[in-house]
Amino acid sequence: MPEGMATVMLDRGKYNVLGIGVNAIDYEAAVEKIVAAAQSAQSMAVSALAVHGVMTGVLDPVHRYRLNHLDLVVPDGQPVRWTLNGLYRAGLKDRVYGPTLMLKLCDRAAREGLPIYFYGNRCEVLETLSQKLQERFPGLVIAGMQPSRFRQVSAEEKREICEEIRQSGAKILFVGLGCPRQEVWVYEYREQLPLPLIAVGAAFDFHAGHLSQAPALMQRSGLEWLYRLMQEPGRLWQRYVVLNPLFVGLLLLQLLKLKRFDPQQSILPQDELRYG
C-alpha cells in the first residue's frame, strides 16, 4: 500500500440472519477488534459461521442464545456474506473465512509479540500446526496447547484448563473443536479467560496439512461445501444435503417477510455442557 494511504475497514455491526446476529465486517476490522482485545487482556468470544453454523442456532433455541451472546460472529461462508449483502446492502467484498482469519491474526501476533494458544483437535495435529505456523511467521510465540479430550469435562477439569491457559501468558486463543462444540466452548469459557477466544473450525487440520482446502475458485463460488462433502461424505452429508437447502428455503421466507426470525426467541442455557 502506498505511504499515506489508510486502509478502509468495514464494520457495520450485527444483522439478523434467520435469527442469528452476524457481523457485517471485513478481515481488517475483525483483526483490529481481536488484537485490541488481546492487547488490553479483555475477554472476547468470536466465531466464524458458515451456513451450517447458522443453522445450528436456527434449529436449537438454546444454542441460538449462545450464538447471539458471542461478541463477534463473522460471515465465514459465501452464502452468509451474500445474505448480508442481499438483505442489508452490507457491501462486503469478501467473506471472513475462519482459517484465513487465523493466519492474519498469527501474522499480527508475530509482529506485535502476542503469544497464542491452541485448544482442541489431537496432539499430532497441534504439534504439526505449531511447527508450520512458526516456520511461516518467524517470531510467532506459541504459549501452549491442549488437545481435545473428546468428551465432556468435569467442573474441576474446566478450572484446570482455564488455569493452564491463564498461566501460559497467552494473549489470543484459537479453538478447533468443530461446530457447534467450539461455539459452546467459547461461550462457556468467555467469562473465565481474559483474552479473545476464536472458534476457527477445521483451520487446525488445514494449516497442519492434514486436510486439504477447496480450490480458490470453488471457495469464491460458494462451492466449498461440495469439496468438503466429497472429502468426508459419511460425516458431512447431512450437514450439506439437508441443511443447505433448508437454509435457502428459510432465507426466502425471511426475504419475503413471510416469517419473522426473532433473535430474542431463544432459551438461556440452564447447564454447562463443558465440552472438552
% of the chain surpassing 70 pLDDT: 97
Higher pLDDT, 97 or 217: 97
Q: Considering Cα of 27, then 109, then 102, then 187, what sign does the dihedral take?
A: negative
Instruction: Tell me the C-alpha distance between 17 and 101, whole Å.
Output: 21
d(CA 212, CA 23): 27
Mean pLDDT, range 6-15, rounded to an integer: 85
The pLDDT of residue 6? 53
Q: What is the arithmetic mean of pLDDT over 196-207?
A: 95
Question: What domains, with CATH codes, occur in the chain?
Answer: 22-208 (3.40.50)
What tens digit of pLDDT does each residue of 204-215 get?
999 999 887 878
Is the pLDDT at 32 greater than 80? The verdict is yes
Is the N-terminal amide bond of 180 cis, ω within 30° of 0? yes
Which of 162, 182, 171 lies closest to 141, judged by CA? 171
Average pLDDT, the chain: 93
**Mean pLDDT on 170-175:** 98
pLDDT of 200 over the 70 cut: yes
In Å, how far from its chain's centre is CA 132? 21
Answer for the pair 74, 96: CB distance below 8 angstroms, yes or no: yes
Which stretches of the chain are assigned E, i.e. beta strand? Answer: 11-17, 20-25, 44-49, 72-75, 116-120, 142-146, 172-176, 196-199
Residue-wise pLDDT tens digits, 67-124: 999 999 999 999 999 999 999 999 999 999 999 999 999 999 999 999 999 999 999 9
